């Protein structure tokens, strides 16, 4: 187990390619980001004709679930860009590699079901804000599921690449307190059009 995840309770081995950094940002930075997120014109997540319990705003690109395609969105705001750069440095990515940011508000009782991020995206990083959540992983192993739970604390950053990104599914059960996140993504193929 990696040193970064060694303090976490484990059901099964951690997904290869999962990284976790507690206290990635300071308390003051978290408060600044929370104020920015609360001021955004967040809209309910649309899944076809259904609305999710979480509210979102996309920058750089947005994925249209109804039409199964990426669409251009507003550029990353000036207040998000420094954090995208910090994530790039953390992950050893080139400058400008992060081309998408998704801001999400999870009201108490909201969660997200089992899924893998869209194949148009490559590496995925999540900055957890406001409250903790259980970030669950699972993968099929014969007739059973292997499972792992990451307790993502406020101000922490997780990163998914490799098997954690492409083999394991992930979900967040209903959160117990208001939570926000900023998900940063690189693109799988720079020729998106």
Six-digit token pair at 3?
Answer: 């040193």
Sign of the Cα pseudo-torsion (91, 38, 99, 77, in order)? negative
- Say if 1 falls within a structural domain: no
More confident residue, 13 or 156: 156
Range of the structural domain that residue 104 is part of: 18-187
Please report the DSSP string for 5-74 in residue order. TTTS--SSPPPTTEEEETT-S-HHHHHHHHHHHHHS--EEEEETTEEEEEEEEEESEEEETTTTEEEE-P
Q: Is residue 5 one of the residues assigned to a domain?
A: no
Q: What is the mean pLDDT of residues 170-182?
A: 97
Give the global pTM.
0.88
pLDDT tens figures, 2-55: 445 444 444 458 999 999 999 999 999 999 999 999 999 999 987 666 777 899
The pLDDT score that the predictor gives to residue 33 is 98
Domain count, the chain: 1
CATH of the domain at 39: 2.60.120.590
Which phi and psi angles does 123 have, rounded to 5°? -75, 145
In a domain, 58, yes or no: yes
Beta bridge partners of 19: 159
Residues 47-106 pLDDT 10s: 666 777 899 999 999 877 777 788 899 999 999 999 999 999 999 999 999 999 999 999
| Residue whose pair of structure tokens reads 């507690």 in the numeric block | 22
């Amino acid at each position: 187990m990696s040193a970064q995840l060694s303090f976490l309770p484990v059901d099964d081995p951690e997904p290869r390619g999962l990284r976790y950094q507690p206290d990635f940002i300071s308390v003051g930075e978290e408060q600044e980001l929370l104020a920015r997120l609360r001021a955004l014109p967040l809209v309910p997540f649309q899944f076809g004709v259904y609305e999710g319990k979480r509210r979102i705003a996309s920058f750089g690109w947005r994925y249209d679930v109804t039409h199964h395609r990426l669409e251009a969105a507003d550029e990353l705001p000036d207040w998000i860009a420094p954090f995208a750069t910090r994530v790039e440095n953390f992950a050893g990515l080139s400058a400008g590699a992060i081309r998408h940011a998704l801001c999400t508000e999870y009201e108490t009782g909201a969660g997200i079901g089992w899924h893998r991020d869209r194949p148009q995206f490559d590496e995925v990083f999540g900055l957890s804000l406001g409250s903790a959540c259980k970030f669950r992983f699972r993968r099929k192993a014969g007739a059973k599921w292997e499972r792992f739970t990451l307790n993502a604390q406020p101000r922490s950053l997780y990163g998914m690449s490799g098997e954690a990104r492409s083999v394991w599914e992930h979900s967040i059960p209903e959160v117990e307190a208001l939570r926000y996140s900023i998900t940063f993504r690189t693109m799988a193929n720079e020729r998106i059009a």
